[in-house]
């Protein structure tokens, strides 16, 4: 059943993200040619500010899903109701806090935006971003039970429909009116309707959520929940700082226009990361179920499988990004929107090191190891801000991304696997780092060979040259992986799962409680 649920979640998640990806590129192209790069920079900057405001979330989303794994597996309706009551109150408070902090930031907007801007009504634009962010907290808490019950493919299908409709409407508005405020207003309306619809769907799937009740957690469960929440809050700070400050640092020390240029790279990276994230996010609830029901050896084997899959997927994408990013943006928008190779290297390195953490993150979150090393994320956030600012002043925009990489390598890279191997698998972590080095070497080698071959078989026609690079990217790393790992247990297990997908993909799960 876990494989079936994971496959369903993965299939619909990937399908939805693929649709979103295509629509995003179409919308971005129309956006640039109708409004210009400066509006794009403002869009990226305000999005980053709201990522910072999501600190108010306190890590509730992860704590919620983790806390629901066991009561769902045990069909403990009372405890589920108690948890959902707690989440409902908490998220309404969080939404208010986000709105309040966002309003307090308004006087400081001119200082965050480095350089003058010709964009009118900048405060109205910011308010629309803020309202869209704050309003989502009044509906989103009900999504947690769907996710924890390994049914997030339901959310993916709904999201895909709304993405297609809202992006189509957005393109029409950009081409006909060309007004950014109208576009943002439309996005706000669609976001509220989507969140409300998913909340209503959750109520239909789990009718007991409609029942009036006064269910409360026991003192023991409440204490455990808030202890995990506190530790998750520290992780949340680090994640938000590491992922949300790049655009702000670029705007402060380099300029808002560069935020606009980087936003095109960020669109590709974020789309790809989200696409790949669905692969691992889809199995998270299944891993959570495995953790509470399976043996130690089974847990360790599944970790190895996920880690190998993680390397294969992110390694392949890293090779593609290194070889295709600049050629793609040149074809898509023009050479004036392209960064030099050193900046691209920093962006791709940041992508790879973040992606290689997925297996460790999945097991840390599903095994409840929130309290181990709980102050380490604060150290990571501090290193990221300080090093990014120093390097940005010294070497420019590449320094912002290298600062993020350095902070990650100093903290998450080594500590998360160490904790998991010590407290979950009860094994030495050394073999994990040996594999990490081997995997990294393979990716670097494949990237170098692909780039070398593509450069020496250069064709003057841009599209033909791009197609050649695509063929080389698809071929080289996958050939290397096949010949090196085809006899490994992890490779064979993944092949076995792929054989089962055809029979399990459209089998519906019935939910009875």
For 273-299, what is the mean pLDDT? 69
For the cut 90, the answer to whether the pLDDT of residue 238 exceeds it is no
How far apart CA 44 and CA 23 sit, in angstroms, is 18
Dump pLDDT digits (tens) for 319-373.
999 999 999 999 888 888 899 999 999 999 999 998 898 888 777 767 666 566 6
**Matching residue, tokens 């974020």:** 270
For the cut 80, the answer to whether the pLDDT of residue 235 exceeds it is no
Task: Say whether 47 sits in a helix, a strand or coil.
Answer: helix
DSSP letters, 62-88, are HHHHHHHHHHHHTT-HHHHHHHHHHHH
For the cut 90, the answer to whether the pLDDT of residue 95 exceeds it is no
**Matching residue, tokens 């989200």:** 274
Residue-level pLDDT at 509: 44
Residue-level pLDDT at 511: 42
- Per the domain annotation, does 320 fall within a domain? no
Higher pLDDT, 359 or 308: 308
- Per the domain annotation, does 464 fall within a domain? no
Q: Give the rounded percent of residues in the chain with a pLDDT score beyond 90.
A: 20
Residue-level pLDDT at 271: 79
- Per the domain annotation, does 19 fall within a domain? yes
Higher pLDDT, 299 or 440: 440
DSSP letters, 389-440, are HHHHHHHTHHHHHHHHHHHHHHTHHHHHHHHHIIIII-S-SHHHHHHHHHHH
Residue-level pLDDT at 339: 92
For the cut 60, the answer to whether the pLDDT of residue 11 exceeds it is no
For 155-163, what is the mean pLDDT? 82
Dump pLDDT digits (tens) for 434-488.
999 999 999 999 999 999 888 877 666 778 888 889 999 999 999 999 999 999 9
For the cut 90, the answer to whether the pLDDT of residue 152 exceeds it is no
Higher pLDDT, 160 or 347: 347
How far apart CA 106 and CA 122 sit, in angstroms, is 10
Dump pLDDT digits (tens) for 28-68.
888 888 887 778 778 877 877 776 665 544 445 666 676 77
3-state helix, strand, coil in the chain (%, to 5): 85, 0, 15
- Per the domain annotation, does 77 fall within a domain? yes
- Per the domain annotation, does 457 fall within a domain? no
- Per the domain annotation, does 450 fall within a domain? no
Range among 5-9, 338-342, 412-416, 500-504 rated most confident = 338-342
DSSP-derived letter for residue 334 is -
- Per the domain annotation, does 47 fall within a domain? yes
Mean pLDDT computed over every residue of the chain? 80
Domain count, the chain: 1
Q: Residue 117 — pLDDT band, cuts 50, 70, 90?
A: low
- Per the domain annotation, does 437 fall within a domain? no
Dihedral class, residue 169 (left if φ above 0, else alpha if ψ from -120 to 50, else beta) = alpha
Dump pLDDT digits (tens) for 172-229.
998 998 888 998 899 889 988 988 888 888 888 888 877 777 777 777 777 776 666 6
Residues spanned by the domain of 196 = 2-293+339-425
């Amino acid at each position: 059943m876990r494989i079936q649920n994971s496959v369903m979640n993965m299939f619909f998640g990937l399908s939805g993200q693929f649709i979103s990806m295509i629509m995003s590129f179409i919308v971005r192209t129309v956006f640039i040619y109708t409004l210009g790069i400066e509006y794009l920079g403002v869009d990226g900057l305000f999005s980053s500010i709201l990522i910072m405001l999501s600190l108010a979330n306190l890590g509730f989303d992860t704590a919620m899903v983790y806390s629901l794994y066991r009561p769902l597996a045990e069909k403990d309706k009372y405890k589920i109701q108690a948890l959902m009551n707690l989440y409902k109150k908490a998220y309404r408070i969080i939404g208010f806090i986000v709105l309040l902090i966002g309003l307090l930031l308004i006087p400081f907007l001119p200082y965050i935006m480095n350089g003058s801007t010709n964009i009118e009504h900048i405060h109205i634009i910011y308010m629309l971003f803020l309202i869209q962010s704050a309003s989502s907290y009044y509906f989103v808490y009900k999504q947690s039970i769907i996710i924890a019950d390994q049914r997030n493919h339901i959310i993916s299908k709904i999201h895909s429909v709304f993405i297609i409709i809202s992006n189509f409407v957005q393109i029409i508005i950009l081409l006909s009116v060309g007004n950014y405020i109208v576009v943002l207003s439309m996005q706000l309306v669609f976001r509220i309707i989507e969140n409300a619809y998913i909340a209503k769907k959750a109520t239909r799937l789990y009718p007991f959520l409609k029942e009036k009740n006064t269910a409360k957690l026991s003192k023991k469960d409440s204490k455990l929940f808030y202890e995990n929440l506190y530790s998750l809050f520290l992780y949340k700070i680090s994640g938000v700082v590491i992922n949300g400050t790049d655009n702000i640092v670029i705007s402060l020390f380099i300029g808002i226009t560069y935020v606009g240029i980087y936003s095109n790279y960020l669109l590709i990276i974020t789309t790809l990361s989200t696409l790949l994230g669905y692969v691992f996010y889809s199995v998270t609830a299944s891993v959570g179920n495995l953790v509470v029901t399976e043996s130690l050896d089974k847990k360790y084997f599944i970790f190895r499988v996920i880690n190998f899959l993680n390397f294969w997927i992110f390694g392949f994408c890293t090779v593609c990004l290194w070889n295709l990013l600049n050629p793609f943006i040149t074809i898509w928008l023009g050479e004036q929107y392209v960064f030099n190779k050193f900046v691209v290297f920093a962006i791709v390195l940041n992508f790879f090191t973040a992606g290689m953490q997925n297996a460790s993150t999945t097991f840390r979150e599903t095994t409840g190891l929130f309290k181990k090393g709980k102050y380490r994320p604060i150290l990571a956030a501090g290193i990221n801000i300080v090093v990014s600012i120093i390097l940005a002043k010294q070497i420019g925009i590449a320094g912002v991304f290298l600062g993020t990489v350095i902070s990650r390598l100093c903290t998450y890279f080594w500590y998360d696997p160490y904790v998991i191997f010590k407290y979950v698998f009860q094994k030495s972590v050394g073999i994990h780092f040996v594999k990490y080095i081997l995997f990294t070497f393979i990716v670097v080698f494949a990237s170098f060979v692909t780039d070398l071959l593509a450069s020496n078989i250069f064709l003057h026609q841009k599209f033909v040259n791009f197609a050649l690079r695509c063929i080389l990217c698809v071929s080289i790393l996958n050939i290397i992986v096949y010949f090196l790992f085809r006899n490994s247990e992890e490779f064979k297990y993944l092949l076995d799962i792929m054989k089962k997908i055809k029979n399990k993909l459209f089998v519906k799960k019935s939910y009875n409680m």
